[in-house]
Amino acid sequence: MGALDSAFIQEAEHRPDLKMVEGEGIPSIDLSDSPTRTREELASEIGNACKTWGFFQVINHGVPLGLRKRVEELAKEFFDQPLEEKTKVKRDEVHPMGFHDSEHTKNVRDWKEVFDFFLQDPTLIPALSHPEDKSLRELTNQWPQNPPQFRETCEEYAREVEKLAFKLLELISLSLGLPADRFNGYFQEQTSFLRFNHYPPCPQPELALGVGRHKDGGALTVLSQDSVGGLQIQRRSDGEWVSVRPVPDAYVINLGNAMQVWTNDLYWSAEHRVVVNTQKERFSIPFFFFPGHHVSVKPLDEITNEENPPKYKEFNWGVFFATRNRSDYKKQDVENIQIDHFKVSE
């Protein structure tokens, strides 16, 4: 077993505990129409999960299983290719989507490789070439020649997962006592993207992480994970790290920063990370449901009042997204932009 490059080594306090406790009680929610349950009751179940955990799993979610299986197989076929094939669609400063094998989370390298594509092609984000720059950049996807049918299948899958994301967004809105479509407008010109994660076996899993601790940025994430396991979340109630048990065919849903800000901390965006192991490779496919670049994210007027004043300052989603994205490339001396930077001081 080879030694680990120092770029992957986590500070002692962030190293994983490989004997993890399972997150007993992470809710599993059945989305099927039921004659004995109203839409409001379902919404309230989801609302409770968003408050207590910021994480839950859904079953009977409507995404066709056959399509999901095909995408999982294609992702594996893609990563199984030699590096020189994969780097033909390598991500760079001009193309932030595509293949990448040296992503850093909080300045430590992740033990993984990824392939990303935007839901909307092209996607618009702020150019940010200098501080006053208000112009936009058009970003496009890169698609590999192989495996065959990769692009078509990925695009079809993304549209199905997007439907599920809107369904959940509407239920979350109802759970807050708001009209079902309260958030929908924010997703015109959305910056959402899909990611394939591949976590190879790691010689020293006690020192590294597949993905370092982080919160997802957007409204919510819809994640397909295989049966290997490794996803851990920080429990809101006591800050303990607990693992999310793989449930066959379910999706793991977690809230991102934007939802936490919109709800003024009523709903929770949990820190999470991925633990790797010496034996088995692992695959996961998150869909990051992100607002449009023009959206100004701030606690909703309907939620805040004198007793519950806004806990966050308003920020522009596009600038937040573009800044974060840029910081993925290299180890930086400054801490990557985090949502806490917008907290109103108390």
CA distances in angstroms from 233 to 22, 49, 262, 271, 331, listed in the order given: 10, 14, 21, 6, 24
Report the nearest approach of ligand OGA to the CB of residue 52 (Å). Answer: 19
**Identity of the residue numbered 60:** N
Residue 182 or residue 320: which is nearer to ligand OGA going by CB?
320
- One-letter amino acid of 27: P
Q: Which stretch binds ligand OGA (CB under 6 A): 82-90, 96-104, 135-143, 223-231?
A: 223-231
Q: Quick one: tokens of 274? A: 């991925």
Q: Does 286 bind ligand OGA (CB under 6 A)?
A: yes
Which residue is associated with the tokens 């949502």? 339
Kindly report the CA angle at 256 between 253 and 258, in degrees rounded to 5? 140
Q: Which does 231 bind (CB under 5 to 8 A by kind): ligand OGA, Ni ion, none?
A: ligand OGA
Q: Which is nearer to ligand OGA, 187 or 288 (CB)?
A: 288
Report residue 179 as tokens: 């009209």
The reply to whether 216 sits near ligand OGA by the rule CB under 6 A is: yes
Enclosing H/E stretch for 296: strand 296-297
CB of 78 to ligand OGA, least distance (A): 16
Q: Does 225 bind ligand OGA (CB under 6 A)?
A: yes
Q: Which of 137, 213, 272, 293 binds ligand OGA (CB under 6 A)?
A: 272
Least Å from the CB of residue 345 to ligand OGA: 28
Q: Which of residues 52-91 bind ligand OGA (CB under 6 A)?
A: none
What lies within 8 Å, CB to CB, of 345 at 6+ separation is none
- Nearer residue to ligand OGA within complex by CB, 225 or 260: 225
Binding site for Ni ion (CB under 5 A): 216
- Residue spans of beta strands (DSSP E) within 134-218: 136-139, 193-199, 211-214
Count of residues in contact with ligand OGA, rule CB under 6 A = 11
Binding-site member from 10, 141, 192, 197 for ligand OGA (CB under 6 A)? 197
- Classify residue 338 by its DSSP letter: -
Q: 317 with 191: CB under 8 angstroms?
A: yes
Residues of this chain that interact with ligand OGA (CB under 6 A) are 195, 197, 211, 216, 223, 225, 231, 272, 274, 284, 286
